[in-house]
Amino acid sequence: MGALEDITDKVNALKYKSGLSRSHMRLATYKGRIYALPFTAEASVLFYNVTLFRRAGLDPKRPPRTWEDVEDYARKIRALGGDYYGYVFAGASAGYNAFTFMPYIWASGGDVLNSKGVPTFDSPVITQALTFYRRMWEADLIPKLAQTDQGTNSGPAFASGKIGIYPSGAFFIPTLSSAKNFEWDVTPIPGKTGGYASFAGGDEIAIPKASKHKAEAWEFIQWATGEEAQTVLARKGIVPIRTDLYKSIYEPLNPKYKALAQAMLEGRTPYSTVYNALFNDNNGPWIKMIQDAVFRGDIQGAQRAAQQRAMAITAGS
Amino acid sequence: MAPAREVATRERIGSQSVSSSWRWRRSVEGILYVLPATVLIGLFFFIPLGMTFWMSLYDWPILGARRFTGLANYGRALGDPNFLHAVYFTCVYTLVITPILIVVGFALAMLVKGHRRGVGLFRTLYFLPVPIGFASASYLWVWLVQPDAGPLGRILQLLGLVQQPPQWLAGTTSALAVVIAMVTWKTSGMQMILLMSGMHSIPTELEEAARVDGASGRQVFWLVTLPLLRPTLALVLVFSVAGSLLAFDQFYIITGGGPSNSTITAVYWIYHTAFINFQLGYAAALSILLMVVLALVSFVQLRLIHRSVEL
Amino acid sequence: MKVMPLKTRHQATLAWWVVCILLAVLFLLPLYLMVTQAFKSPAEAAAIPPTLWPHSWSLDSFRRMGGEVASINISQHILNSLYVSLATVGAVVLVSTLGGYSFARLNFPGKGVWFFGLLVTFMIPFQAIITPLYLVMRALHLQNSLVGLALVYITYQLPFGLYLMRNAFGTIPREIPEAALLDGCSTLSSLTRVMLPIALPGVVTTALFAFFAAWNDFFAALILVTDQDRMTLPVTLSILQSGQFGTIDWGVLQAGVVVSAIPCVLLFLVLQRYYVSGLLSGALK
């Protein structure tokens, strides 16, 4: 923490302080002082193939609102036969699953870390979430490529029009826009019996303590979080971090952005100093738990082992 | 190979003796010339080597204060399932790939050791993958075995051998097979050359004499050629085992340690411990253990070589 | 020696050719696929299923290495690799020549032990001491620098270089340097003007192996250089290959592999003799 400049007072003076993305702000705050501001945002949502929904007899205006919905819709789309699959995800990427699987857990009242930052990998909600994915895998609703995909194959698979549902973020939209042969839409990631959640990602911007141009840097940060800059970012497909401006600069750009804005408002991020080692490491406990539970079927064992490792990592030993 | 023995007391150039101050100057010169090498090796090898021992006695995070813990890291290592699995997997990998490399290298050597027309061309062709780096070869093969975008699956499909391109990297055994295939492709040319050079150093008279004595081709091979090849075989063995025990690049790049961390090797785990989990002290202890294993294996191998040479 | 009837000999030769060619195809196949993938147009390179014979030839994948993919300028990293490799070659040749000459021709107390001590490096792989090596680099403020990386490469190539150069100098008959010294040459000029030209093959071999080690290394580069701008080619390719949340451009990746692999193949083809002799003398040790 000695690396960044404390900008608490400057931020408090901002008129739009309350409009800044909550989860970004939480991550930028340490012991009550603020060290960074949100810059770009990313929220996870479910993408779904409207064309395939219609073909499978599903109403595209009624996207999945519960886990049962997701499974049910996936089954119906898989029933179209051939190489049409109901659901896809990148099963070998830790970061991707932090982004897209955690919201299922959050929306159902669970979490991966408790309020003190201690891992809760063996909690019952996670068991249920893993079981949900495992059932879909066992029922062959997910293509085999998911097992080894580190994030680069499931997107194109969805973009090829063969998959019903795929969780991802706003950054995926440019890729989708070049796939013209089907209609798609987005919906928030649902909880087990309703509700929704999202993973708030993106970037923060801060001033290094050693900087010799602090005043200029602050001016830039102010500008970067201002309406003009955030509008430019929005036009490029990047979710703005000014939640107070969603209705004015973001949603009008594209009707689909409404869901993304909604997701961003509910966006959460785990708060932990060992986040990378836990959730971003492709050899770490988070992804190993998902892989062992979903693809190998030993859900309890996977959770236990993951919790052990996560505890060891958090304890710093 | 021992250095030629030098006369230490008096040096002669031509027929003149030389003074001791001249000798002293030459000594200084000699030391001066080896100084750069000594400094570099001292600084970047011996010092880190010593540090490894020292660091292993500490709980040493990459950022932050270190804490003396004595032999605790070693105790932890011996009970650490991840490390033990990594060592186990590394041994499995070594045990599986070593005979494959030797057999393939041997077969290639037999093919190209003659003097037929074209033999030089084939020697070069089989050796071609050798100078490529392990990393480059891994990037090549990780693409080759991709189930949708990779050509190998497509070729098998077109040949009618499979319906769908296989998900080679989805299972531990098949992922290991991919790595073994890559390493075989990349290094058997080298075993070939080494074994071939060994074969060439066997005087043909011995083989001919055996044949004249009535030995069949097969008997000549097993009773004359092979025993004389033992030193070369031993050499190939030592190189290949050492390299396999230290494998990293190919597993990091092709399998990413997966599926589900099942193809993580010892060096991979040490890297992960030190630079992803930021535990330098523990990583140092693991490194020491790795060196012990290496030393043991080398020792055993050298013993076997000595015994075989005596036979 | 039994003489085979002509027909059987022909059949044997034919069989030999068939087997050898089949094997050659197997060995060359990956290289062929790599090269064709790199020279396909980006659209074709991304085709699923992939085409086995390119329908379109294009240098676009190479051009895109200049920055379009994942906003990484691979050309910069190629230069980084080149810089590190050439620095390694230069330093290894210089230091090994001096050291090898001294061990072969000059005398000082403890020479034998000293030589053995320096060669101990062979027995311990640098992977095992990378952890403290990282700290040493940090202490010298060389962490995350290409200079630091080069120093590591140089150090670990020195034992082999010293061994090769000592052999190379050792095989020169004593009369030659002695004659030079009688003519009034200093040790240094005796080395450069008389011995070195004769020992040149050793120098070439040393340089060749040093280049390969530096150009191809992945492990040390991955750990010691973390700034993306300073990365060398093998590490850059790993970023390309992990393509976070996006698609991997296999065409660009293979183009990168081509740039990484082809120089090695070409160098080997041109300097085959030196490479093989280097291998064999390393083996003899």
- For residues B22 and B86, state if they share a domain: no
Cα distance between residue C116 and residue C108, in whole Å: 14
Contact call for B259 and A283, based on CB within 8 A: no
Neighbouring chains of B at 3+ CB pairs under 8 Å are: A, C
What is the rounded average pLDDT of the residues B54-73?
86
- For residues B23 and B101, state if they share a domain: no
Contact call for C243 and A172, based on CB within 8 A: no
Contact call for C131 and B267, based on CB within 8 A: no
Contact call for C136 and B131, based on CB within 8 A: no
Q: Is residue B60 part of a domain?
A: no
Contact call for B261 and A277, based on CB within 8 A: no
Of A224, A201, A200, A242, nearest in space to A17 by CA: A242
User: Residue C51 — very low, low, confident or very high, per pLDDT cuts 50/70/90?
Assistant: confident
Q: Please name the residues in contact with B17: beta carbons below 8 A apart, sequence gap of 6 or more.
A: B10, B11
Neighbouring chains of C at 3+ CB pairs under 8 Å are: A, B
Contact call for B260 and A316, based on CB within 8 A: no
Comparing A160 with B103, the larger pLDDT belongs to B103
Residue of B nearest to A147 (CA): B170
- For residues B145 and B271, state if they share a domain: yes
pLDDT recorded at residue B48? 93
In this predicted structure, the answer to whether residue C39 has a pLDDT above a threshold of 60 is yes
Q: Is residue B26 part of a domain?
A: yes
Cα distance between residue C33 and residue B151, in whole Å: 8
**pLDDT tens readout for residues B118-138:** 888 999 999 999 999 999 999
Q: Is residue B262 part of a domain?
A: yes
Q: Is residue B59 part of a domain?
A: no
- For residues B39 and B71, state if they share a domain: no
Q: Is residue B193 part of a domain?
A: yes
**pLDDT tens readout for residues A113-133:** 988 889 999 999 999 999 999
| Beta-carbon-side half-sphere exposure of residue A176 (alpha carbons within 13 Å) | 25
Residue of B nearest to C53 (CA): B151
Contact B188, B104 (CB under 8 A): yes
- For residues B240 and B185, state if they share a domain: yes
Q: Which fold has domain C66-279?
A: MetI-like fold (1.10.3720)
Burial string for C111-147 (b: 16+ CB within 10 Å, else e) reads beebbeebbebeebbbbbbbbbbbbbbeeeebbebbe
Q: How many A×B Cβ pairs under 8 Å?
A: 51
In this predicted structure, the answer to whether residue A60 has a pLDDT above a threshold of 60 is yes
Other C-beta atoms closer than 10 Å to the C-beta of B75 total: 12
| Beta-carbon-side half-sphere exposure of residue C212 (alpha carbons within 13 Å) | 24
Of B88, C244, B45, B275, nearest in space to A90 by CA: C244
Q: Please name the residues in contact with C34: beta carbons below 8 A apart, sequence gap of 6 or more.
A: B140, C254, C257, C258, C261
Q: Which two tokens stand for residue C30?
A: 């990956």
Q: How far is A139 from chain C (nearest CA, A)?
A: 26
- For residues B197 and B258, state if they share a domain: yes
Last residue of a domain, one of B44, B59, B76: B44
Contact call for B136 and C23, based on CB within 8 A: no
Contact call for A150 and C242, based on CB within 8 A: yes
Q: How far is A30 from chain C (nearest CA, A)?
A: 26
Contact call for B29 and C102, based on CB within 8 A: yes
In this predicted structure, the answer to whether residue A222 has a pLDDT above a threshold of 70 is yes
In the numeric block, the tokens 């119906």 are attached to A76
- For residues B303 and B154, state if they share a domain: yes
Q: Does B27 touch chain C (CB under 8 A)?
A: yes
B259 preceded by a cis bond (ω within 30 of 0):
yes
Closest CB from B148, B149, B267 relative to C127: B267
Tell whether the torsion through CA atoms of B272, B277, B278 and B283 is positive or negative: negative
- For residues B184 and B255, state if they share a domain: yes
Q: Is residue B296 part of a domain?
A: yes
- For residues B23 and B72, state if they share a domain: no
Q: How far is B289 from chain A (nearest CA, A)?
A: 19
Contact call for C261 and B135, based on CB within 8 A: no
Most confident of B15-19, C212-216, C243-247: C212-216
In this predicted structure, the answer to whether residue A205 has a pLDDT above a threshold of 90 is no
Neighbouring chains of A at 3+ CB pairs under 8 Å are: B, C
Residue of A nearest to C247 (CA): A152
- For residues B124 and B255, state if they share a domain: yes
Mean predicted lDDT score pLDDT of chain A: 84
Give me the phi and psi of A283, to 5 degrees please.
Answer: -110, 15
Q: Which two tokens stand for residue B206?
A: 């011995």
Those of residues 126-145 in C touching chain B at CB distance below 8 A are 126-136
Contact call for B143 and C253, based on CB within 8 A: yes
Q: Please name the residues in contact with C4: beta carbons below 8 A apart, sequence gap of 6 or more.
A: C12
How deeply is B163 buried, as exposed, middle or buried, from its count of CB atoms within 10 A (0-12, 13-18, 19+)?
A: exposed
Contact B301, B238 (CB under 8 A): yes
Those of residues 175-214 in C touching chain B at CB distance below 8 A are 178, 181-182, 187, 212
Round to the nearest angstrom and report the end-to-end CA distance of chain B. Answer: 22
pLDDT recorded at residue B5? 46
CA Rg value for chain B: 26
In this predicted structure, the answer to whether residue B237 has a pLDDT above a threshold of 60 is yes
pLDDT recorded at residue A228? 79
pLDDT recorded at residue C2? 54
3-state secondary structure A119-159: ECCCCHHHHHHHHHHHHHHHCCCCCHHHHCCCCCCHHHHHH
Comparing A220 with C40, the larger pLDDT belongs to C40
Cα distance between residue B77 and residue B81, in whole Å: 8
Q: State the span(s) of chain C assigned CATH 1.10.3720.10.
A: 66-279
In this predicted structure, the answer to whether residue A15 has a pLDDT above a threshold of 90 is no
Domain housing B203:
67-310
Cα distance between residue B218 and residue A298, in whole Å: 53
C49 preceded by a cis bond (ω within 30 of 0):
yes
DSSP for chain C? -PPPPHHHHHHHHHHHHHHHHHHHHHHHHHHHHHHHHHHB-HHHHT-SSPPSS-SSB-SHHHHGGGTTSTT--HHHHHHHHHHHHHHHHHHHHHHHHHHHHHHHH---TTHHHHHHHHHGGGGS-GGGGHHHHHHHHHHTT-TT-HHHHHHHHHHHHHHHHHHHHHHHHHTS-THHHHHHHHTT--HHHIIIIIIHHHHHHHHHHHHHHHHHHHHH--HHHHHH---GGG--HHHHHHHHHH-TTS---HHHHHHHHHHHHHHHHHHHHHTHHHHHHHHHHHHH-
Q: Is residue B83 part of a domain?
A: yes
Q: Which residues of B touch C218 (CB under 8 A)?
A: 133-135, 248-249, 252-253
A16-25, A304-313, C37-46: range with lowest mean pLDDT: A16-25
Residue of A nearest to B268 (CA): A283
Give me the phi and psi of A200, to 5 degrees please.
Answer: -90, 115
Q: Does B278 touch chain A (CB under 8 A)?
A: yes
- CATH code at position B281: 1.10.3720.10
Q: Does B147 touch chain A (CB under 8 A)?
A: yes
What is the rounded average pLDDT of the residues A207-225?
75
Cα distance between residue A89 and residue A96, in whole Å: 8
Q: How many domains does chain B have?
A: 2
Q: How far is C241 from chain A (nearest CA, A)?
A: 9
Closest CB from C46, C223, C280 relative to B275: C223
Contact B248, C127 (CB under 8 A): yes
Q: Is residue B231 part of a domain?
A: yes
**pLDDT tens readout for residues C145-175:** 999 999 999 999 999 999 999 888 888 887 7
- For residues B192 and B121, state if they share a domain: yes
Contact call for B259 and A92, based on CB within 8 A: yes
Contact call for C244 and A175, based on CB within 8 A: no
Q: Which residues of B touch C132 (CB under 8 A)?
A: 47-49, 51-52, 55, 280, 284
Q: Which residues of B touch A291 (CB under 8 A)?
A: 258-260
Q: How far is B278 from chain C (nearest CA, A)?
A: 10
DSSP for B51-114? HHHHHTTEE-BSSS--EE-TTHHHHHHHT-HHHHHHHHHHHHHHHHHHHHHHHHHHHHHHHHSS
Cα distance between residue C192 and residue A137, in whole Å: 70
- For residues B118 and B240, state if they share a domain: yes
To test the contact with chain B by mutation, choose from C48, C129, C225 the residue with the greatest count of B C-beta atoms within 10 A, namely: C129
**pLDDT tens readout for residues C192-209:** 777 778 888 889 999 999
Q: How many B×C Cβ pairs under 8 Å?
A: 287
Coil vs helix vs strand at A204: strand
A72-86, A264-278, A292-306, B234-248: range with lowest mean pLDDT: A264-278
Coil vs helix vs strand at A283: coil
Contact call for C246 and A151, based on CB within 8 A: yes
Residue of C nearest to A150 (CA): C242
Q: Does C257 touch chain B (CB under 8 A)?
A: yes
Q: Does C267 touch chain B (CB under 8 A)?
A: yes
Closest CB from B49, B131, B136 relative to C257: B136
**pLDDT tens readout for residues B184-212:** 999 999 999 999 988 888 887 877 787 78
Distance of alpha carbon B77 from its chain centroid, rounded? 24
Residue of A nearest to B275 (CA): A277
Q: Which residues are bridge partners to B13 per DSSP?
A: B16
pLDDT recorded at residue C282? 74
B218-222, C112-116, C125-129: range with lowest mean pLDDT: B218-222
Mean predicted lDDT score pLDDT of chain B: 86
Contact call for C246 and A175, based on CB within 8 A: yes
Cα distance between residue C259 and residue A121, in whole Å: 44
User: Residue C82 — very low, low, confident or very high, per pLDDT cuts 50/70/90?
Assistant: very high
Closest CB from C49, C115, C121 relative to B3: C115
Q: Which two tokens stand for residue B105?
A: 């290298």
Cα distance between residue B16 and residue C178, in whole Å: 12
Other C-beta atoms closer than 10 Å to the C-beta of A288 total: 24
Kind plus residue range of the DSSP H or E element containing A46: strand A36-49
What is the rounded average pLDDT of the residues A272-297?
90
